[in-house]
Structure 1
Amino acid sequence: MRAELLEFLRETPLLDYSAKPIEKLIENRGWKMLDEFQRIREIYDFVRNEILFGYNVRDDLPASRVLSDGYGQCNTKGTLFMALLRADGIPCRLHGFTIDKKLQKGAMTGIVYEKAPREILHSWVEVCFGGKWTELEAFILDEKYLGSLQKKFPDAGAFCGYGAAVKDLQNPAVEWAGEGTYIQSEGIVRDLGIYSSPDEFYRAHGQDLSGAAAFFYRHVGRRLMNANVKRIRRRG
């Protein structure tokens, strides 16, 4: 391992991979016994499909809390993904962005959508594989939820909404095969740069919600959004 990559294996308060539930998960899955490609694929598939798409109480949750919740979105699933990768010896980093809230229309509806900020904090994870950094984003939407969108919009090509922003909804680049995967990248508005950990990212940037807006999201908005996501998933 090159010395300059050690920073991208570090445990942090959010990447709390020494937490017992995370250690137990890794041991039970046997990921450390796999080669590097298979390790990334198994962890990627776990975060994508066994941690369902949904909205947590806030972005800056530790990985162990996301695992306990059993669901997440780009930022929270990304934190869990990074913790599992680092615990299994795969260097990774975070690339931050903002996305247009139009990407969430359909998952967000009514007053929840109207109250959402125009730009929403977003991130993807970059893994060091084969000597280069590879962008992984498509772990956000679980396979069943994405399949429901594809059935709902069978003739869609370029698509933006319901948590997806892709050039071709029927053939998105979502499977790990050694190259980048994307599911929201077509909705990016601003590039916020690369960070060695989510802790650093949230110290520099935080979703612009406070006071009444934060209370509404945590106690009303996200519950409505999660109920809507479950309805969409069931239709598949």
Structure 2
Amino acid sequence: MANVLLSIKNLSVSYGNIKALRGISFDIIEGQITALIGANGAGKSSLLRAVSGMVKFDGEINYRGRNIKGMAAHKIVSMGITHVPEGRGIFGSLTVRENLTLAAWLRRNDPEGVKRDYEHVIELFPRLGERVGQLSATLSGGEQQMLAIGRALMSKGDLILLDEPSMGLSPVLADEIFGIIDEISKAGVTILLVEQNAFMALQLSHHGCVMENGELTLEGAAAELLDDPRVRQAYLGV
């Protein structure tokens, strides 16, 4: 039987008088990739920020059965939720190695585990291995995205929130990033994926949710959403 890792119930987020999310409810199953698709301004990034403790919300978010409402962001990270934000959010003035090491700060009592995961990240992203001593600000956009995902892996979370991982990347680099996301998923990490490329996102995912104007309008198996005429017309251009 599938295990629910994260349960979102009646989630609402407001910025002043603007309602970004209105009564969103869905579950994320452990070990799966769940794609969140929708137009710009649909509320997808606000949902990720609510889960990671970056914005206040009404409703409930339960992680492994525990309500995380009102919990500080660093506490949520320590529970196993990591957020790779849109724009990557790396520390440009630090080297690649320093960025990865800093991401494992909460694991400082597990040096052997950190070392193993550092080696795993470098194996996943050989280009980072070639640039470990390089300032992160000097990396290409694709390399910065690799570093952002690598940092999430270094924190050893069970759930990774990925916000627009292909943004600004060439089609070749985007395909490479999606391949690595698939590999991470097959290693057992659960992923909530926000992505403008709806076709790629749904192809990669097990489950999908469609958001419009802060509301959840469609939900189901990703393969079924790929064949849904409403999704095809609005997001796939066919």
TM range (shorter): under 0.3
Q: Which has the higher contact order (CA 8 A, sep 6+)?
A: 2
Normalising by structure 1, we get a TM-score of: 0.28
Normalising by structure 2, we get a TM-score of: 0.28
Higher helix share: 1
Higher strand share: 2
